[in-house]
Amino acid sequence: MFCVISLSASMAKAQTSGTCGDNLTWTITGSGRYQTLTISGTGEMDNYFSGGPISPWYYNTSLETIVIEDGVTSIGSWAFLNCQHITSISIPNSVASIGAGAFNSCSDLISVIIPSGVPSIGDYTFTSCYKLTSITIPNSVTSIGKWAFVDCDGLTSITIPESVKFIGEYAFYHSNFLTSIIIPNGVLSIGKRTFYACYHLTSVIIPNSVLSIGEGAFEACYGLTSVTIPNSVTSIGDDAFASCDNVTSITIQAITPPSIERYTFWHITDTVLVTVPCVSESAYRSVPYWRDFANIVADNNCEAVCEDVVAALRAENAALKVDITAYKKQIANLENEVARNQLDIDYLYNVQESLYRQIAELQQELRECKNDTRTFSPSEIASQEINIFPQPVQNELFIHSENGMKKVEIFDTSGHTVGATLVLAHSQEQGQSLWLPLRTSINVSHLPAGVYLLKIETDKGVKTERFVKK
């Protein structure tokens, strides 16, 4: 393996020019330890890999300066891996993306200005850039990848723009001279071991957008003396603040205790003072692992908290009133619609009743014209159509017949008369035609549940129908 690396290094030293993209060329000028790599042309740079293929200048320890000329649109993955003695690099505004691991192990690199337009800092981009003291991140960047700034011992502070919404696991792992960090509002989670072993970190601001703090996120941050956890946080992972031996106070703003694990605050539960919302002191003292703290106290902001709760309840009440008003309006509209539909139904029933009357009168006139005195046969009686509904019935039973009805009786299954008998036809006056109704109803609400027989006498005869009372 050693021979392969030496051969690759010597080959890289031997080359002074070539291509590094479809329309890109590279040249190395200078001599000794002060050589300059210049990349020219237009378009994207080739991507390289830590396991091969490698860049033409891989492990070139003579390179001190890199100049990327305007027109280059990307810096390839692992492009400058192990170019250990590079101290400066010029990146033009034409560059729109920087690949993963691009400056990995450029241990002498001092400063970098990322051009506006680059959307992300990829995984492993600045890992082991031990002397990196200054980096400018533009507002175009929305994410910082995992292991991006691991072992960047020269960084004492870094400004992360508000545009950043994601910070990956191990992003600042063991950047142990980092003293302060402001996490942008909008970041939803602090990942696993993001700031692990940042020994000199004394100040961290966690915004109210963060929902979770991952496992070991601030473990072994010996410089921290106090921590404020906003009310947005609902969970804190195991070892998140373990071995933060100099932390003396933790302020928790969440009214509902966030879930924590057995070793989330390992080694400091006996000494640290935990301040919680005054309305939640008993809750923190009773839930698992929070109750392991020896010193939990309520803040002195009860009045403000209560005012906030009252304000929230009032706002909720106002919203409910608006909803109730809207629902009442909907109900009124539905009731009006039902009323309109009922009027339509009543109108149709009246029209139908009028038509039944006209038909009955026409049938009577027809019988009188024909002097019709015949009797109806059993088959004719059986064929006459009679409709009863609803089935089963609760209160009112409706009866429709195609022939005029004279009388309606109800019997139980043993043949006994039950309920009232409807007499629908009376002796006609002289010179008056007898009108027999085609539609009627009978109230059966008083009947016990069961099966009954309905005997209906019409001008054609008698027919029996069955109905069910529920």
Output DSSP code: residue 395.
Answer: S
Classify residue 407: in a domain, yes or no.
yes
- On the question of pLDDT at 375 being above 60, the answer is no
* pLDDT at residue 238, as a whole number: 97
What sections of 15-147 are H helices per DSSP?
none
Classify residue 396: in a domain, yes or no.
yes
- On the question of pLDDT at 274 being above 60, the answer is yes
Classify residue 200: in a domain, yes or no.
no
CB atoms inside a 10 Å sphere around CB 253: 18
Residues above pLDDT 70, as percent of the chain: 87
Q: What is the pLDDT of residues 10-45, one digit of tens each?
A: 444 458 999 999 999 999 999 888 899 999 999 999
CA distance to 184, 219, 316, per residue, from 204 (Å): 11, 13, 34
- In this prediction, residues 58-67 reach a mean pLDDT of 93
Classify residue 21: in a domain, yes or no.
no
Distance of CA 319 to the CA centre of its chain: 22
- In this prediction, residues 357-364 reach a mean pLDDT of 71
Interatomic CA distance for residues 237 and 262, integer angstroms = 9
Q: Determine if the peptide bond prior to 390 is cis (ω within 30°).
A: yes
Q: What is the pLDDT of residues 134-166, one digit of tens each?
A: 999 999 999 999 999 999 999 999 999 999 999
**pLDDT band at 209, cuts 50/70/90?**
very high
Which is more confidently placed, 424 or 132? 132
Residues above pLDDT 90, as percent of the chain: 57
Which CATH number do you get for residue 387? 2.60.40.3080
* pLDDT at residue 371, as a whole number: 58
Nearest-CA neighbor of 146 among 174, 122, 119, 176?
122
Classify residue 415: in a domain, yes or no.
yes
Residues 161-177: b if buried by 16+ CB within 10 A, e if exposed: eeebeebbbbbbbbbbb
Q: What is the pLDDT of residues 77-122, one digit of tens each?
A: 999 999 999 999 999 999 999 999 999 999 999 999 999 999 999 9
Q: Out of 137-141, 239-243, 249-253, 429-433, which region has the weakest mean confidence (pLDDT)?
A: 429-433
Nearest-CA neighbor of 57 among 27, 94, 30?
27
Interatomic CA distance for residues 123 and 131, integer angstroms = 19
Boundaries of domain holding 398? 378-469
CB 408 within 8 A of CB 442: yes
- On the question of pLDDT at 9 being above 50, the answer is no
DSSP assignments along 165-220, one per residue = -EE-TTTTTT-TT--EEEPPTT--EE-TTTTTT-TT--EEE--TT--EE-TTTTTT
Classify residue 94: in a domain, yes or no.
no
Classify residue 382: in a domain, yes or no.
yes
Q: What is the pLDDT of residues 409-441, one digit of tens each?
A: 898 878 888 876 777 655 444 444 455 677 888
Q: What is the pLDDT of residues 380-394, one digit of tens each?
A: 445 567 888 888 888
The tally of domains found in the chain comes to 1
CA distance to 127, 168, 214, 399, per residue, from 192 (Å): 17, 8, 5, 77
Classify residue 441: in a domain, yes or no.
yes
CA distance to 59, 102, 230, 364, per residue, from 12 (Å): 8, 17, 52, 118
| Global model pTM greater than 0.75 | no
